[in-house]
C-alpha cells in the first residue's frame, strides 16, 4: 500500500529535516506511529497523502507515485483513495455537520454525490453519536463531537487508505473506544490500510505494528540533523 524510498524533505524555513531511506506498509496493515512532538509524524502523513511533496525520493501510495503527480492529480487521488482525519479537524464553520461530512464529494469531481452517499453519511454520523446534530454548525459542537465529525468525514468515501492524526486526542474513554472501534471495523470490512499517529500508548496493542519515529530517526538521520530537529514540524505540519 505504501512504499517510501530515499525520501528527503526540508521546510523552506527553519532547521527541520526528514530523511527516510525505506518504509513499507502492507495492504490491510494497521500501523501506529509514535514519537515526540516535532519529530515528523504528521509530515509523514502529509507526504503519504501528497499534501506535501519531498525534495527527493519516491512516495508510492496505493500503487501510485503520488510524489510525481501534479497538484490537481494529487487532490483527485486523495479524494478517491485516502480518508484523512486531521489533527485540527479542518472543518468549515459555515457548513452544517452533515455538509461537513459530505465535503469530499463537494470539492472533487472525482466523486459523485448521490442518495446512497447521503444515507451512508447519516449512518456513520449516527454510529459516531452525532446523528442528532446533523443540522448544527461545528461551533455548536463540543471538541469531542468535532473530533467525531472529522472521523465521520474520513470514513465516508470508504477509502482503501485511512490516515488519522491523533483521532482520539480530544475524546473521553467511552468515545475514544467508539472511534477506534469504527476505524478498525472499516479496515476489517473493506481490507483498508490504517496509519494512525497517536500519543495514546493504551491503543497500541490494537495495531499490527508500531513505528517509533524517534527510533526510526536514529537510523535514517545523521546525528547533526537529529540535534537540529525541533518543534518546527509541529508548528508547520501538525495540522496536515
DSSP characters for 167-235?
TTTT--HHHHHHHHHHHHHHHHHHT-EEEEE-S-GGGGGGSSEEEEHHHHHHHHS-HHHHHH--THHHH
Is the model's pLDDT at 136 over the cut of 70?
Answer: yes
* DSSP assigned state of 23: E
Is the model's pLDDT at 228 over the cut of 50?
Answer: no
Backbone angles phi, psi at 11, to 5 degrees: -70, 150
Q: Write down the pLDDT at residue 215.
A: 53
Q: Write down the pLDDT at residue 165.
A: 92
User: pLDDT, tens digit, for every residue of 188-221?
Assistant: 888 899 999 998 888 899 999 999 877 545 333 4
Which residues make Cβ contacts (< 8 Å) with residue 229, sequence separation at least 6? 15, 16, 17, 38, 39, 40, 217, 221
Domains held by the chain: number: 1
Q: Write down the pLDDT at residue 33.
A: 93
What CATH number does the domain containing 210 carry? Answer: 3.40.50.300
**Helices marked H in 66-134:** 71-81, 97-101, 103-107, 115-127
Neighbours of 10 (CB within 10 A): 16
Residue pair 34/213 in contact by the 8 Å Cβ criterion: yes
Question: Cα separation of 159 and 111, whole Å?
Answer: 12
Which residue has 449516527 as its cell numbers? 126
Percent of the chain scored above 90 by pLDDT?
46
Of 14-28, 67-81, 117-131, 210-224, the one with minimum mean pLDDT is 210-224
Residue pair 29/187 in contact by the 8 Å Cβ criterion: no
Give the range of the structural domain holding residue 110, as residue numbers without chain letter: 2-237
Cell of 217: 530517526
Q: Write down the pLDDT at residue 47.
A: 92
Percent of the chain scored above 70 by pLDDT?
89
User: pLDDT, tens digit, for every residue of 157-188?
Assistant: 999 999 999 888 878 888 888 888 888 888 88
Confidence of residue 3 (pLDDT cuts 50, 70, 90): very high
Q: Write down the pLDDT at residue 221.
A: 43
Average pLDDT in the chain: 84
Question: Cα separation of 150 and 167, whole Å?
Answer: 8
Amino acid at each position: 500500500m505504501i512504499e517510501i524510498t530515499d525520501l528527503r524533505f526540508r521546510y523552506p524555513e527553519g532547521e527541520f529535516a526528514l530523511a527516510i531511506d525505506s518504509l513499507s506498509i502492507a495492504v490491510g496493515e494497521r500501523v501506529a506511529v509514535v514519537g515526540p512532538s516535532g519529530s515528523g509524524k504528521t509530515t509523514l502523513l502529509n507526504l503519504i497523502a501528497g499534501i506535501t511533496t519531498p525534495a527527493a525520493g519516491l512516495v508510492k501510495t496505493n500503487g501510485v507515485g503520488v510524489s510525481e503527480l501534479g497538484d490537481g492529480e494529487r487532490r483527485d487521488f486523495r479524494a478517491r483513495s485516502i480518508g484523512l482525519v486531521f489533527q485540527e479537524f479542518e472543518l468549515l464553520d459555515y457548513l452544517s455537520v452533515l455538509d461537513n461530512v459530505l465535503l469530499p464529494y463537494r470539492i472533487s469531481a472525482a466523486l459523485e454525490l448521490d442518495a446512497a452517499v447521503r444515507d451512508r453519511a447519516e449512518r456513520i454520523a449516527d454510529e459516531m453519536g452525532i446523528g442528532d446534530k446533523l443540522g448544527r454548525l461545528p461551533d455548536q459542537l463540543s471538541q469531542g463531537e468535532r473530533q467525531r465529525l472529522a472521523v465521520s468525514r474520513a470514513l465516508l468515501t470508504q477509502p482503501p487508505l485511512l490516515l488519522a492524526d491523533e483521532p482520539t486526542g480530544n475524546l473521553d474513554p467511552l468515545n475514544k473506544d467508539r472511534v477506534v472501534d469504527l476505524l478498525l471495523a472499516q479496515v476489517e470490512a473493506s481490507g483498508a490500510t490504517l496509519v494512525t499517529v497517536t500519543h495514546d500508548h493504551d491503543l497500541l496493542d490494537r495495531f499490527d505494528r508500531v513505528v517509533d519515529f524517534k527510533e526510526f530517526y536514529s537510523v535514517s538521520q545523521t546525528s547533526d540533523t537529529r540535534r537540529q530537529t525541533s518543534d518546527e514540524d509541529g508548528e508547520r505540519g501538525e495540522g496536515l
